[in-house]
Amino acid sequence: MPSHPTAEHHRLHQDQTRERNWKRWGPYLAERQWGTVREDYSADGSAWTYFPHDHARSRAYRWGEDGLFGWTDRQCRLCFSIALWNGRDPFLKERLFGVTGPEGNHGEDVKECYYYLDSTPTHSYVRGLYKYPQVEYPYARLVEENRRRTRAEREFELTDAGVFDDGRYFDVQIEYAKAGPEDVLVRVTIANRGPDDAEIALLPQLWFRNTWSWGCTQEGCAVRPWIQRGGAAHVFAEDPRLGRYRFVVDDRDVDVEWLFTENETNVERLFGAANPSPHTKDAFHAYVVDGRKDAVNPKGRGTKCGALVRLVVEAGRERVLRLRLVAEREAPRTAFGRAFEELFAEREQEAREWYQHHLPEHASPEEREVMRQAWAGLFWSKQFYHYVVDAWIEGDPEQPAPPAERKAGRNKDWLHVYNRDVISMPDKWEYPWFAAWDLAFHTIPLARLDPAFAKGQLELFLREWYMHPNGQIPAYEWAFSDVNPPVHAWAVWRVYKKSAPAGKRDRRFLASSFQKLLLNFTWWVNRKDASGKNVFQGGFLGLDNIGVFDRSRPLPTGGHARAGGRHRVDGVLLRDDAVDGARARAGGPELRGHGVQVLRALRAHRRRDEHARRHGALGRRGRLLLRPDPARGPEAPPQVALDGRAPPADRRRDPRERGRRAPARLQEAHGVVPGERARPRAARAERRARR
């Protein structure tokens, strides 16, 4: 049996070998499901207005769920999160709020104060903090003020509204600790930072994602699950695929009032039609805020439940609520007590030991804290993402037929896409959808922290239900066909190198990824290699930033902008992948052919670059504006460097380059692929010998 430096390493090993399913549950719930493309069934693709924040509390989601610091299984069947009410807001705080793309003076932006403080890779210990104002939350003011401001002005934030003045807010800390893969302990601590005693209603919620209202034929849509009261302090939740769970609240120091309803749309409130069920998704808002006792199901049964606890928190003091979600077959005889607190202390200590193992010894205490919280943010930002494009375009049998314009609209060429996975997200509120470009960068730090997850994420986007048959990798849900920089090959190579020492690396991962990356490379060559030189161009993004010009589109003045350094990186890494894969005999020597062609192209372009740089034809960053010159013909356009320096007329073209396009420089990749720009020849040879 292999030894492991920490308990968390052991859990990662058990999960990877499928000995124990430690990652089945985690903070995979989105912070925002409303306003997303997958919930948009409009004719014109206006996702923000079709499903706004005002609908979120009353309207069932089709493709996911959201909540405040939520928790769910990896297929988002059973969900948990907390809701809060300070006695002044017009509705419960059960999800984060922000301005939409059209409302914000700088686009969409979350307007909350919340922090991901801690997490391990298996989510054996997780901690987050939310700051909830004791005065009324300024929903309307945030929208109006940000909409009024111009792009030249700073954004209007929640702190600008004065809601935290005099410390009149609650610190709401939520912690999760796993006693086992199917046994999750929850501790909610509410601290009053204000000068006076303050009331707060806390409503932990457990519910099933609505899979039964659509008449869909995908996996998991057939059977309706249920939640039912089992006693004064617990309920049972059962789904045929997930199993039976017990949800328990520690009621020794608090009074608990159980509420039940259905996770179904309030059609009457939103659309003026009769509700098919008298108990709807927003029933708890009606009960707590409006005092409507008839809004909840008196029979103690439904697909959504809540444990309402009303607290008075003294000034400068805190209150704690303990909960537990456990598979019925693993339920302990005593849910709370001394063992509960000891388990939390043990998991927190194990998290410290795991981070201690990974943090650099030379880092200062402050630097170590920054790194730890940054890594915790990566683990918190894993999210369940569900999007089946053909079903989304066609609509569901038991729902109104979507407009015909959708069949010629967004993502119409990606009917093969079937997303139902936990994916590393750029941000679970502002970008609660995957971005292939961002994800490639996420996997680099994850390669040492959780190698299996990092490799799995890169392989996922090369699978046939993600990658297009033509070889393109989907960009993001707003436009899968957008061209992003080809950094996937770079990420595969870096993860391969960083995830294990030489001699122990996963060449199966490298070889299998290389086969699919060749398809992607072929797509680039066929679609984005206008000059036929095996070094291609295009994409609206720079290597690590957004450029001034979209290189996939013509310039307003004609011609196009070109910066191909990042694509050379793709070629270099394909070459290295091929050589290493062939060395392992995992893919055979046939893998090297295309990589060698790329290498030859790179060498030729490098010689041309050196000549162009000496003669001033390239700007500081190696980007060119290629504009047509009618006097000289389309095959010999003049070049203008993007740094504003026009090259002298007699130096615009190398005589050997007449009638050809000017190459781009590798320098643009400097800083992202360390050492590739100016690595000494001897050092390069030494590194190759060590591989």
Residue 3 — very low, low, confident or very high, per pLDDT cuts 50/70/90?
A: confident
Instruction: Calculate the average pLDDT of the chain.
Output: 84
Q: What local confidence, expressed as pLDDT, does residue 218 receive?
A: 73
Distances (CA, A) of 467 to 30, 378, 386, 440, 461: 24, 24, 16, 14, 6
pLDDT-derived band at 688, boundaries 50, 70, 90:
very low
Between 177 and 544, the higher pLDDT residue = 177
Q: Work out the pLDDT band at 502, boundaries 50, 70, 90.
A: confident
* pLDDT tens, position by position, 597-631: 655 665 665 665 565 555 554 444 444 444 555 55
Residue 16 has a pLDDT of 95
Q: How far apart are CA 576 and CA 187, in angstroms?
A: 49
pLDDT of 309 reads 98
Q: How many CB atoms lie within 10 A of CB 342?
A: 10
Among 674, 623, 668, 667, smallest CA distance to 490 is for 674
Asked whether 50 and 56 are in contact (CB, 8 A), the reply is no
Question: Residue 552 — very low, low, confident or very high, per pLDDT cuts 50/70/90?
Answer: low
The size of the chain, in residues, is: 691
Q: Tell me, what's the pLDDT at 556?
A: 67
**What does the pLDDT read at residue 662?**
40
DSSP-based three-state secondary structure for 678: coil
Task: Report, in angstroms and rounded to the nearest whole number, the Rg of the chain calculated over CA atoms.
Answer: 28
Mean pLDDT of 163-187: 97
Higher pLDDT, 580 or 206: 206
pLDDT at residue number 573 = 57
Residue 641: pLDDT band (50, 70, 90) is very low
Give the C-alpha separation, 52 to 35, whole Å. Answer: 6
pLDDT at 635: 44
For residue 424, pLDDT beyond 70: yes
**Confidence check: pLDDT of 83 > 90:** yes
Banded pLDDT at 486 (limits 50, 70, 90):
confident
pLDDT tens digits along 651-685: 444 434 444 444 333 333 333 333 333 334 444 44
Per-residue confidence (pLDDT) for residue 537, from 0 to 100? 59
Supply the pLDDT for residue 656: 41
Residue 210: CB partners within 8 Å, gap ≥ 6?
A: 60, 61, 62, 263, 264, 303
pLDDT of residue 593: 57
Give the span between the Cα atoms of 677 and 670, in whole angstroms.
6
pLDDT tens sequence across 253-262:
999 999 999 9
What torsion, rounded to 10 degrees, do the Cα atoms 357, 361, 367, 373 define?
0
The reported pLDDT for the residue numbered 557 is 67
Residue 652: the pLDDT is: 41
CB 278 within 8 A of CB 255: no
Could you report the per-residue pLDDT of 225-273, keeping only the tens digit for each? 999 999 999 999 999 989 999 999 999 999 999 999 999 999 999 999 9
Most confident among 46-50, 216-220, 556-560 (mean pLDDT): 46-50
Q: What is the spatial distance between Cα 98 and Cα 541, in angstroms, rounded to a whole number? A: 26
Q: How far apart are CA 308 and CA 285, in angstroms?
A: 11
Burial status of residue 556 (CB atoms within 10 A of its CB: 0-12, 13-18, 19 or more): exposed
What does the pLDDT look like over 294-333, one tens digit per residue? 999 999 999 999 999 999 999 999 999 999 999 999 999 9
What confidence tens digit (pLDDT) does each residue in 42-74 have? 999 999 999 999 999 999 999 999 999 999 999
pLDDT at 525: 78
Q: What percent of the chain has pLDDT over 90?
A: 69
| CB contact set of 477 (below 8 Å; sequence gap of 6+) | 36, 37, 38, 387, 411, 433, 434
Pull the structure tokens for residue 515.
Answer: 């086969």
- pLDDT-based confidence at 2, cuts 50/70/90? low
Instruction: Check residue 615 and give its pLDDT.
Output: 55
Instruction: Check pLDDT > 90 for residue 390.
Output: yes
